[in-house]
Homo-oligomer: A and B are copies of this chain.
């Protein structure tokens, strides 16, 4: 039973692209769990693009990370000791305490994993925040109908890969953009109709237009930038844009001009709607039921990219921005 825990702290706020020197590995001594508390040893940690936003010192939907404090984020751990009747040693729990090997926290703030026949770490991916982000954003905002064309960027990532597969389940034609031929090949193996390797395709507009000659009805945006401008250009009347993220812009050091063709929003009657997964928290039971069913039927599969050990968490995070991951980026502990 550890009484100490290594953790990753924010050492400095990145300017532009984050660097390893913006993070530091440190050791904390843990107290014994008090009444109502539990001691948890993390097994898997999540690194996610949205964490870049919390490294800025600004007001947002979540408070910024603080210098000298461990980074918060999703993790799955195992209860080692519990002072609360709701948890017992061996229970597997999800938390948001982030990049630590172990921690002590109130049991009420820990979520026991549902009893589903999937690997534990899936609760950080398809069955966790990224999967629910894909599910709720696509279905609530994108509202895809059979026969429509869905365009998804960042399509090999933890969110995009689920979007692409749900869109196929819903009977859509799917055009997926990703940054390597291997990623495109995986997407095609999952039934995606057209893949665009944005790094090698030449002018992105031409490549996506060739894949979607009749235009697009739904755009699920994970990247912003040029992809968003292309989607506006090719949008059919009444198209819906689910704005999930703009990873291409997260490391910008100056405000980036928006798409030059935003005016299409009027004439084409477009809907461009941003969201965060917590807006749809009440849909979690339905999400878990649908997703577990689709996984059991083989309709949803996933890839993982795993780094080992807490010391490698900063590198795993940096790799998100170079697109080094296919599917969910994870850090394995213990």
* Interface residue range, chain A: 20 to 34
Q: Are B265 and A274 in contact (CB-based, < 8 A)?
A: yes
Which of B53, B245, B257, B267 is in CB contact (< 8 Å) with A274?
B267
Which of B237, B245, B260, B266 is in CB contact (< 8 Å) with A243?
B266
- Contact mask for chain A residues 187-231; partner B; CB cutoff 8 A; 1 contact, 0 none: 000000000000000000000000000000000000010000000
Report the minimum CB–CB distance from A141 to chain B (whole Å): 9
Q: Are B260 and A257 in contact (CB-based, < 8 A)?
A: yes
The answer to whether the Cβ of A268 comes within 8 Å of any Cβ in the partner chain is yes
Number of copies: 2
Given contacts A257-B258, A259-B262, A262-B258, contact A267 B61 (CB under 8 A): yes
- Contact mask for chain A residues 61-88; partner B; CB cutoff 8 A; 1 contact, 0 none: 1000000000000000000000000000
Q: Which of A251-285 contact B (CB under 8 A)?
A: 255-276, 279
Report the minimum CB–CB distance from A130 to chain B (whole Å): 15
Q: Are A266 and B271 in contact (CB-based, < 8 A)?
A: no
- Can you report 23 A-B residue pairs in the complex whose CB atoms are below 8 A from each other? A60-B267, A61-B237, A245-B266, A257-B257, A257-B260, A258-B258, A258-B259, A258-B260, A258-B261, A259-B262, A262-B262, A264-B274, A265-B273, A265-B274, A267-B276, A268-B274, A269-B273, A269-B276, A270-B274, A271-B271, A271-B272, A271-B274, A272-B272
